[in-house]
Amino acid sequence: MKRIASAAAAILIAAGLTGCGRKNGYEGFTVPEQGGSTLKPVDSIYMENDYTGIVPKKEKVQRTVTSSDGLCRIDIMESYFDVTLDYTSGSYYDVGAAYGEAVNLAYEGYGEACEPYIYENIKAVFSDLDGDYAPIENRAKVFYNSLEKDYRDELDGFADGVKGDSEGFKEDGILSREEAVLMQFVPDALRGTACSAITADGEVTATGERITCRVLEWMLGSDNQICRCHAVVHMKNGDRSFVSVTPLGFMTILTAVNDDGLMLGELDVGSKKMVEYTCEDKKSYTYGMRYALEHFSTAKEATDYLAENASDYPYCVNVIATDPKEAYVAELCVTDEDGATVVRDSSSELNEGVDWDDPHYLCAVNSFAAKGNSDMLTNDEGNIVRWNRYNELFGGQRGLTSDRFKELMTCEKTDNDLTRMRGSGMVHMVIADYSTGRLQAILTGEDGVVPSPEFIDLGSWK
């Protein structure tokens, strides 16, 4: 009762003080207009998508084009281009030229759509070139010259086959030979990707087989133009065959699986020490990934190869690698300032403050995680929230079906600022189900990322 009396007295005193020097108190005071609150309760971050019993959609072929020599066939599907390149019947140059020819047949106005996207990527990195693209051209030449002869021949053929009536770097809406070459090295020369990946081993899945998911986030383009040219490219080359999920015309490896089930995906990593970018005496890590896909059958072989060559790449990067039995993340450090290149697995010791609870899952985001390597997790909100989100959602999951896996991957609402697993720049989300040997994916359409997306069956990786 004493507390109540004291509180009442305080209120009376405060009321008296409020009127001091103001005869009418708050009479006539107008409350200013205020926008709605931007605060969101934590439980509003998530939503429920139900994929139980819903098989991924198999799209129908709308039209088919073939190069004049038959080395490239492109089936135009409803939302992507299904490309087959036949290296068993022609040289690398011939296959590249056939691909360039067929791209122009399959996508009318390809150069007009592709060229502005290239310059948007350039300007995102260089805002002060003022029409002088010599620095970009030099980077492209360095990576081109470092390629093996077969890859150079292939790229020469593609550039010759796809180019329009223009030369050099000129923002004119026509794809030149030089621009077509640079297009293959955007991840190496310009960067600008934000990705994540998670894999579950057979001990925690309903089938007893691995499930791997890789999310690619990139610049969609001012008109979401990259969303109009999703492609699944089947490189048919005997025991060097693989399937790549990438934009049409890009031979760059972003997400790919070979006939043995070796899956690779790259994730950009910034340098904590802000090491100055240099490409002198460097070579393309995306073509290094391609070499690994063509020459190795296991995740360990591939990551060991990439680790051995890490100092030759232009900047720090993670590469997620899985096969039916094992999973690794190659943390590729460019210099000693960033740490030491390591092939991380689920048992690796992590940096202080980085927690991962379930050893049956392996995760990667846009940062190194292994102890001693540059830490862009604990001091980067986007990375640590994304990492913790994966840990929270997947840790402890048992008897995981592919349907439930997809529900977890799409459970974040897309209409808030806290989305981390599939942000507004998501180009694709690719899932490799090792129990079926097939790929399925969300391919972001021109309307951008949607809350309840449809998964598309991309077929077998064999």
Q: Are 446 and 250 in contact (CB under 8 A)?
A: no
- 313-335 pLDDT, tens digit per residue, is 998 999 999 999 999 999 999 88
Summarize pLDDT for 261-306 with one digit per residue, the tens: 999 999 999 766 656 678 889 999 999 999 999 999 999 999 999 9
pLDDT of amino acid 454: 97
Bridge partners of 232? Answer: 82, 245
- Cβ partners under 8 Å of residue 117, min gap 6: 219, 221, 225, 226
Identity at 307, one-letter amino acid code: A
What's the whole-number mean pLDDT along residues 62-87? Answer: 98
pLDDT for position 193: 67
Band the pLDDT of 18: cuts 50, 70, 90. very low
Closest CA to 287 of 156, 187, 180: 187
Average pLDDT over residues 157-170: 95
- In the predicted model, is pLDDT for residue 15 greater than 70? no
Say how far apart CA 28 and CA 380 lie, in whole Å. 48
CA torsion, ordered 34, 38, 40, 44, to nearest 10 deg? 110
pLDDT in tens, 22-43: 334 445 545 455 555 555 555 5
Higher-confidence residue of 193 and 202: namely 202
Contact between 177 and 161 under an 8 Å Cβ cutoff? The reply is no
User: 39-43, 88-92, 101-105, 158-162: which has the minimum mean pLDDT?
Assistant: 39-43
Question: How much of the chain exceeds pLDDT 70, in percent?
Answer: 89
pLDDT, mean over the chain: 89
Q: Which pTM value belongs to this model?
A: 0.89
CB 250 within 8 A of CB 239: no
Tens digits of residue pLDDT in 297-316: 999 999 999 999 999 999 89
Mean pLDDT value of segment 149-168: 97
- End-to-end Cα spacing for the chain: 80
pLDDT of 418 higher than 70: yes
Q: What is the pLDDT of residue 42?
A: 53
Tell me the C-alpha distance between 102 and 96, whole Å.
10
pLDDT at 14 over 50: no
Between 10 and 180, name the one with better pLDDT: 180
**The pLDDT value given to residue 12:** 37
Give the pLDDT mean for 440-455: 96
